[in-house]
Amino acid sequence: MFVLDQEGNRITKIESKTFHEFGFKEREHLQEWIAKSPECLGEELLIIQKEFDGFSDTNERLDLLALDKSGTIVVIENKLDDTGKDVTWQVLKYVSYCSTLSKQQIKEIYQAYLDNYEPDKNAEESMVEFFDGKPFSEILLNENDQRMIMVAAKFRKEVTSTVMWMLNHGIKIQCIKVTPYKYNDQILLDMEQIIPVKEAQDYIIKMADKTREEKEGKEANRDLLETRKAFWNELLEEFNTRSSQFKNINASTDHWLSSGSGVSGAPFSFVVTKNYAAVEILINIGTKEENEKVFDRLFQNREGIEECYGGPLTWERLDDKKSARITHRMGGVDVTNREDWNKIQNFLCQAMVKFEKALKDPLKTATSSK
């Protein structure tokens, strides 16, 4: 590493140091730096435990346990100035121990970590946030082969040779070389992925991920899509004996089923998920301002609409979004659980008949002049 002297138009080498020279320790320092800033390893990682020892019949403990953006378990093993010769065997044991962790166990491990270090946080909510808002029920954890990241200032030849063999056999492992430097009164830290070469890894991972995601996506969704379609077929058969509103609507594999309300951009919809069932109307007739005006006009008539409906509705102006929504939800049901189907269908059939009656005319009035 060099520092550039622009005024003198020259560079000066900064000498590397060892962690031992600085007095740094593996757990007290290197482990904490990574735990607090996992992005230093070159990607977004969620640290879910450190010094994890929750293995049966062994007292061993791994340094850091994490999840990557695909929900894959990542074991991070840290060494200071030298990996030693047995680090690959050590990290392989850890991933084998972690390979059997279930989604529930992972959540419990992470909650224990949060209880110790961030007691105001909830594991499920934090994971939903990390996975970009995906519902926890849809997040897949530890479904893929586990990954290993080894961090050290020096990797012995026997270690790098073993790692290259593992990579050639599809085992997911990385070596991150970490080097401390001192420049004036500052201590600098360089983190460099040396195996596999970063550019080659990106290409390989993209191709492998694409193939895996396509396969896993099809397998994971097949049962859910078939279940939804079967549910909608049963619901339509029952609902069409009560109303003609969905007479020309066919069952789909989506989590929603919509029918026209007489106003373009504001359909009546059934909604089913693994957590709730609902009837709703999503107001998306034009611009954000137009949608809000229609919603506000309906909201002014809230008392009359809810009196006609026979109970309270949930009014969601959704100020941070373009559309607005009026809905009635029933929680505690799961469309993938066939034992809930009668309960869900009875609710949806009864609610939609009342929902249409309460909102159809007010909606036309509210949209007569946007």
- Residue pLDDT, tens place only, 266-308: 999 999 999 999 999 999 999 999 999 999 999 999 999 999 9
**Rounded Cα distance, 66 and 45, in Å:** 6
pTM of the model: 0.54
Looking at the DSSP assignment, which residues form a beta bridge with residue 277?
272, 330
Q: Does pLDDT of 157 surpass 80? A: yes
**Rounded Cα distance, 142 and 61, in Å:** 19
* Closest among 78, 239, 223 to 148, alpha carbons compared: 78
What pLDDT is attached to residue 203? 59
Could you give the angle at which helices 341-367 and 302-309 cross, rounded to 10 degrees? 150
- pLDDT, tens digit, 9 for 90 and up, residues 345-369: 999 999 999 999 999 999 999 998 6
Residue 199 tokens, joined: 């550019």
Q: How confident is the model at residue 168 (pLDDT cuts 50, 70, 90)?
A: confident
What pLDDT is attached to residue 85? 83
What pLDDT is attached to residue 199? 61
Amino acid at 143: E
**Rounded Cα distance, 66 and 51, in Å:** 12
Domains and CATH numbers, the chain: 2-196 (3.40.1350.10), 222-367 (3.30.1460)
- pLDDT, tens digit, 9 for 90 and up, residues 39-49: 999 999 999 99
Q: What are phi and psi of 142, to 5 degrees?
A: 55, 35
- pLDDT, tens digit, 9 for 90 and up, residues 238-257: 999 999 999 999 999 999 99
- pLDDT, tens digit, 9 for 90 and up, residues 175-223: 999 999 998 889 999 999 998 877 666 655 565 556 556 666 677 678 8
What pLDDT is attached to residue 208? 52
Looking at the DSSP assignment, which residues form a beta bridge with residue 146?
none
- 222 Cβ neighbours under 8 A, 6+ residues apart: none
Q: What is the mean pLDDT of residues 128-142?
A: 94
Q: Does pLDDT of 21 surpass 60? A: yes
Residue 117 tokens, joined: 């270090």
Q: What is the mean pLDDT of residues 319-340?
A: 94
Place of tokens 């990390």: 130
